[in-house]
Amino acid sequence: MSILEVNHFSYTYPGEDKTVLRDINLSISPGAFVVIIGKSGSGKSTLGKALAGFLFQDESLDYTGEILVNGHDMTHLPIFLASERVAYIQQNPEDQFCTLTVQDEIAFGLENLCLAPEVIEQRVTEVLEIVQGSNLKDRDLTTLSGGEKQKVAIASLLALQPDVLILDEPTSNLDPIATQSVFKTLYQIRKNQDLTVIIIEHKLSQLLPFKPEIYELESGKIKPRLSTDVVFPLKSVGGINNTIVSKRILSDSPAKLSLSKASISLGGKQILEDINLSLTAGEFTALMGPNGSGKSTLLETLMGFHPLQSGEVSIFNEGDGKIKTSALVSRIGYIFQNPDHQLFTQSVWDEATFTSRNLELLDEQKKAEAQNLFERMGLGDRINDHPQRLSYGEKRRLNLISAMLHNPEILLIDELLIGQDLENAQYWMSFLYDYAKEGAIVLLVNHHADLTQVFCDRLVFLERGQILVDQPVDQAFSKLAKLGYDAFLPLGQIARVYA
């Protein structure tokens, strides 16, 4: 007997002409461990929301077919009843936060179920242990890193003990250690509690050991169940096309951007300590490290968002305090970890051209460049759409276009690859590699070790607010292996470590 049955389901968003999901048929057994894959924009998140009953609360609906969970048709259930059967963790954790603190957020759903206070306290403690977030219990949500917020979102819905748990890229902001822990925990919970788990995810290499049922969405249609051999060919390490990329020798030319003995304290907490970092033209540098190690804060500091507690920062040979953040916009492109934090216009076109227009650079040639980037990034038919109509991965692409259309000398990018399938991720890394090769500086926060090894020249690894490793990529991974950071190594190097 199936716990979840989808019969000839199709869906079109209100006010749209394009059908997003087309004739979906799917049957999932109780206790199944399911992974749904597909390219960015293929309809994965829409399917997840449909299975959870999220899409059927509007007055004007355009769908056909049915979605049954334990015999209940989710297309007709009010959201409060649907949520008792299916819990859905959204791609952007901030979209589902309702309170101000970690403890209150996890307790919120339990309080709405009118559970006893002692039961609530016990569950809050248990689920935070599951996601390795016990140290977050007394924190304000606004003080958390992207990865820490994701842990809280997962914990808040695990606490509800639903029949079906749907997670939309639950580890996109998590470091490799936390990712392994979450997947292992979800698998064990599913096994012990007969919970059905459906994961929308791109990190297949870390899911395959659990032998999940794998389905692929392509242009709104679901394919028959796939074998792991088809999804993850062994001829390509980590699923990556090992195209030879010529690595540059790190330059000893003067730095355009540097920190010297820099320390940052925010809200009374030491975030960065004694940071020494210099970035020169032509370098493509990966910034890696565990969640909460200070990666985002380091980027924000380089952009001038935080005053230094001690030390010095030099930007284009201007000392600390001599250049305003607003004056850097023409020369530095910045992409936040959360794509929604920098989307504020009414159309994709206006968003992409906003900075260039303000800098009075938007001539006919620049408009043509923008159109070319839209086509290359698969957004050519979306320029008149509102940015919030885009998928999470498509928003990241829009962020990149808007940040680099004016050809800045430096790109500071926080987790660009979130929401990108492997094909898109490889394309972006190649794109950024070429941009750096033309003389720009690219500093990318990134958890994808295999792509880092192929495309990046240099690896800076943060641990607890300090730089632990700063070397050319291959040397850096070798040092991380010696230090025991196996989860952060490329798959081929992990195999050598345990050979």
One digit per residue, the tens of pLDDT, for the chain of length 499 reads 789 999 999 999 988 888 999 999 999 999 999 999 988 888 999 999 999 999 998 777 899 999 999 889 999 998 888 888 899 998 788 888 999 999 999 999 999 999 999 999 999 999 998 888 899 999 999 988 777 888 899 899 989 888 899 999 887 777 888 788 778 878 887 877 778 999 998 777 778 888 899 999 998 999 888 766 655 543 343 455 555 466 666 556 788 889 999 999 988 889 999 999 999 999 999 999 998 899 999 999 998 888 899 999 888 877 655 667 788 889 999 999 888 889 999 999 999 999 999 999 999 999 999 999 999 888 999 999 999 988 888 899 999 999 999 999 999 999 888 767 788 888 889 999 999 999 999 999 998 899 999 999 999 999 999 999 999 999 999 999 999 998 899 876 544 443 4
| Residue from 342, 348, 339 nearest 386 by CA | 348
What angle, 0 to 180 degrees and rounded to 10, lies between the N-to-C axes of helices 146-158 and 176-193?
0
Residue 36 neighbours by CB under 8 Å, 6+ apart? 44, 47, 48, 198, 199, 200, 201, 214, 215, 216, 217
Whole-number Å distance between alpha carbons of 445 and 375: 25
Contact predicate 34/199, CB 8 Å: yes
Whole-number Å distance between alpha carbons of 4 and 19: 22
Whole-number Å distance between alpha carbons of 191 and 32: 9
- From first CA to last CA, the distance across the chain in angstroms is 43
Whole-number Å distance between alpha carbons of 444 and 411: 8
Burial of 392 (0-12, 13-18, 19+ CB in 10 A): buried
pTM value is 0.78
Q: Which helix (H) or strand (E) holds 221?
A: strand 221-222
Residue 398 neighbours by CB under 8 Å, 6+ apart? 339, 343, 348, 351, 352, 379, 387, 390
Residue 252 neighbours by CB under 8 Å, 6+ apart? 280
Whole-number Å distance between alpha carbons of 185 and 206: 13
**Single-letter residue type at 178:** A
196-200 vs 21-28, strand pairing mode: unpaired
Coil/strand/helix, residue 346: coil
| Residue from 415, 279, 266 nearest 336 by CA | 415
Residue 63 neighbours by CB under 8 Å, 6+ apart? 9, 10, 11, 12, 50, 55, 56, 75
CA atoms within 13 A on the CB side of 91: 26
466-472 vs 458-463, strand pairing mode: antiparallel
Whole-number Å distance between alpha carbons of 329 and 124: 43
Whole-number Å distance between alpha carbons of 48 and 90: 9
